[in-house]
């Protein structure tokens, strides 16, 4: 069983979104389930700060020992910060996917967009847990 | 293979109990990893790990003409083997390409051939098709054999605590019949990791006894197919389906050393290999490659370019835990195989610089090679 916190929003592609403040900043990463399926992460390719993405546009990629996976932007927005710590220690994604293993902070258009995403219960059903 | 009909090895319940992640592989449900591929890899490089490789196929040849038959089927020379010795060899097609690579073990009264699980069925057809005029028998004993590979610099110490067979006397690619944890088995000093190690063959009904002795009392760390692949790639061992297949001949794969054209017995594929040799050798060769930039990892199937011309795909590829970089193999024209030669890999639409690297990538293994 993987961890699926109730207070986050999810995509079918296994990204999570956590509202970081009351304005429009959200934190994006991949779920505990996703890191478990990928195995040991060895490299993460993240975008530049200022990059803009549409909903479900590819924003980067993640290389594990056995496989590579694309990263999809859960919501339209602009990257305002990336997790620099992942360059030196990409395995943070395995150890703490919802905490120190976050990937990007995104400024989204409206908090209402969060309603498009899956709830924890929806996501748990999606991954069969 | 019917996807719903996956087979299980006699260790299946033990893998599940050890929280293995099970995946379909060659018609079996196999453990790809337990906790972490990189940790399992590191354990085998520095300590001792154990792999369930019971999915491998085993054929047993017996009868007066068994040696002649196996010599007709394989490109290496069975006559060069003493009893108690093993040999890496291959089954070839008439055109000299690989049907499979395999290991043969010579007993006093029989020969055992160990083949890749994914190829076992076609290997069997090939073996049977070349039986005419031979006074010998072959039996597919794959379902009657449990196989554990105990690998790593600490493997001799671990196994010696479980057997009376004098392991310090057992040389690389030799085997002995004996007991491990009280179970009848034979112990071969062979493996697929570049480390010292042993492969244990025994009856499936003893699977739990041996596993508990090796893992429980012995402390060997269970390792999955993921680590098996990274370990073998680092030491340049070919994998059927990636580096070799029925479009590749042994000279192209740098396996000319297993081809014995002059062994004094005809074998399937010999004529084609003689022709290739007479024409000056293969026009392409398998090479190692490493990525120049940090982060780009070559994966099986990525296109490979030499001077802007697509020459091949990445055959084997992945991240090397020991070297902490992306490594792989590909075929290049014979004139461009020198280490240091610049090539490019198409990594999901982006051309990334790579160089030809000397094989093996990893040279510090504890394997007791002759």
Taking CA–CA distances from B320, the nearest residue in chain A reads A65
Question: If one looks up domain A9-124 in CATH, what number appears?
Answer: 2.40.50.100
Residue B354, pLDDT > 90, answer yes
CA distance B52 to B29: 11
The pLDDT value recorded for residue B4 is 64
| Residue ranges, CATH 3.30.1360.120, chain B | 7-54+145-234
- Both structure tokens of B107: 């007993």
**Residue that is written with structure tokens 């992945």 in the block:** B318
Domain extents in chain A = 9-124
Sheet with A77-82: list strands edge to edge: A9-10, A15-19, A25-30, A104-108, A77-82, A52-53
CATH tag, B7-54+145-234: 3.30.1360.120
At residue A23 the predicted structure's pLDDT band, cuts being 50, 70 and 90, is confident
| ipTM confidence | 0.84
Torsion of CA B319, B323, B325, B329, to 10 degrees: -60
CA angle B176, B92, B95 (to 5 degrees): 165
pLDDT reported for residue B132? 86
Residue B138 and residue B131 in contact, taking contact as beta carbons nearer than 8 Å: yes
pLDDT of residue B370: 55
pLDDT of B358: 96
Q: Residue B12: what are its φ and ψ, rounded to 5°?
A: -50, -50
Average pLDDT over residues A12-34: 93
pLDDT band at residue B292 under the 50/70/90 scheme: confident
Mutate to test the interface with A, among B21, B30, B37 (most CBs of A within 10 A): B37
pLDDT digits (tens, 9 = 90+) for B49-71: 999 999 999 999 999 999 999 99
Per the CB < 8 Å rule, is A63 touching B229?
no
Query: Angle at the Cα of B280 (from B278 to B284), degrees rounded to 5?
Result: 125
Q: Which of A37, A40, A43, A58 to mutate to test the interface with B (most CBs of B within 10 A)?
A: A40
What angle in degrees, to the nearest 10, is found between the helix axes of B37-46 and B225-234? 60
Say what percent of chain B tops pLDDT 70: 99
Q: What is the pLDDT, as a whole number, of residue B3?
A: 52
Q: Report how far residue B112's alpha carbon sits from residue B86's, in angstroms, rounded to the nearest whole number.
A: 9
Residues with Cβ within 8 Å of residue B64, at least 6 apart in sequence = B135, B136
CA–CA distance, A77 with B252 (Å, rounded to integer): 51
- Record the pTM: 0.94
Query: Average pLDDT, stretch B69-80?
Result: 97
pLDDT tens per residue across span A55-75: 999 999 999 998 899 999 999
Pick the CATH number of B283-370 from 3.30.70.1230, 3.40.50.10470, 2.40.30.110, 2.40.50.100: 2.40.30.110
Mean pLDDT taken over chain B: 96
Which pLDDT belongs to residue B1?
45
Alpha helices in B53-195, H assignment, sequence order: 66-73, 120-129, 155-160
What CA–CA distances, in Å, run from A110 to A27, A84, A115, A116? 14, 26, 10, 11
Residues of A in contact with B295 (CB under 8 A): 43, 45, 63
State chain A's mean pLDDT as an integer.
94
Report the pLDDT averaged over residues B308-312: 97
Q: Show which of residues 311-350 on chain B sit within 8 Å of chain A, judged by CB atoms.
A: 318-319, 321, 348
Per-residue pLDDT for B45 more than 50? yes
pLDDT at B5: 85
Contacts of A42 in chain B (CB under 8 A): 38, 297, 319
C-alpha distances out from residue A88 to A42, A84, B125, B323, Å: 10, 8, 52, 16
Are the CB atoms for A52 and A59 separated by under 8 Å? no
Chain B closest CA to A111's CA: distance in Å? 33
CATH number of this structure's domain B57-143: 3.30.70.1400
Contact with chain A for residue B85, Cβ under 8 A: no
Question: What is the C-alpha separation between B45 and B275, in angstroms, rounded?
Answer: 41
Least confident stretch, A50-54, B187-191, B290-294, B361-365: B290-294
């Amino acid at each position: 069983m993987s961890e699926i916190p109730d207070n986050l929003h999810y995509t079918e592609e296994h990204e999570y979104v956590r509202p970081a403040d009351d304005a429009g900043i959200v934190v994006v990463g991949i779920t505990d389930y996703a890191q478990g399926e990928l195995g040991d992460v060895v490299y993460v390719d993240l975008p530049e700060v200022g990059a803009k993405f549409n909903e479900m546009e590819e924003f980067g990629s993640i290389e594990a020992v056995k496989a590579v996976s694309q990263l999809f932007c859960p919501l339209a927005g602009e990257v305002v910060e990336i997790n620099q710590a992942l360059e030196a220690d990409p395995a943070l994604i395995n150890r703490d996917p919802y905490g120190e293993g976050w990937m990007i902070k995104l400024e989204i258009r409206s908090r209402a967009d969060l309603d498009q995403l899956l709830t924890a219960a929806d996501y748990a059903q999606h991954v069969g847990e | 293979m019917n996807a719903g009909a996956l087979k299980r090895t006699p260790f299946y319940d033990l893998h599940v109990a050890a929280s293995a992640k099970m995946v379909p592989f060659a018609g079996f449900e196999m453990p790809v990893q337990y906790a972490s591929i990189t940790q399992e890899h590191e354990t085998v490089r520095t300590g001792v790990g154990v792999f369930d490789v019971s999915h491998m196929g085993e054929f047993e040849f017996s009868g007066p003409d068994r040696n002649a038959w196996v010599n007709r089927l394989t490109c290496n020379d069975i006559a060069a083997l003493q009893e108690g010795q093993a040999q890496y060899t291959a089954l070839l097609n008439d055109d000299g390409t690989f049907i499979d690579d395999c290991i043969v073990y010579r007993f006093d009264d029989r020969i055992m051939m160990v083949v890749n699980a994914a190829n076992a069925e076609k290997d069997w057809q090939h073996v049977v098709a070349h039986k005419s005029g031979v006074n010998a028998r072959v039996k597919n004993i794959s379902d009657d054999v449990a196989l554990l590979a105990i690998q790593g610099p600490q493997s001799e110490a671990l196994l010696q605590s479980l057997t009376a067979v004098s392991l310090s006397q057992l040389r690389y690619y030799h085997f002995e019949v004996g007991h491990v944890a009280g179970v009848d088995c034979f112990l071969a000093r062979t493996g697929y990791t570049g480390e010292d190690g042993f492969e244990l063959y025994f009856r499936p009904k003893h699977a739990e006894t041996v596993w508990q002795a090796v893992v429980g009392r012995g402390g060997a760390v269970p390792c999955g197919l993921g680590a098996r692949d990274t370990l073998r790639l680092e030491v340049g061992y070919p994998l059927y389906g990636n580096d070799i297949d029925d479009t590749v001949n042994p000279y192209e794969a740098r396996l000319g050393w297993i081809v014995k054209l002059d062994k004094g017995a005809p074998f399937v594929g010999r004529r084609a290999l003689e022709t290739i040799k007479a024409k000056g050798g293969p026009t392409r060769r398998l090479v190692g490659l490493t990525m120049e930039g940090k982060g780009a990892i070559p994966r099986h199937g990525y296109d490979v370019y030499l001077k802007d011309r697509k020459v091949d795909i990445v055959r084997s590829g992945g991240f090397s835990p020991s070297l902490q970089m992306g490594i792989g193999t590909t075929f290049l024209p014979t004139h461009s195989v020198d280490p240091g030669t610049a090539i490019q890999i198409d990594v999901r639409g982006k051309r990334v610089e790579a160089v030809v690297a000397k094989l093996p990538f990893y040279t510090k293994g504890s394997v007791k090679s002759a």
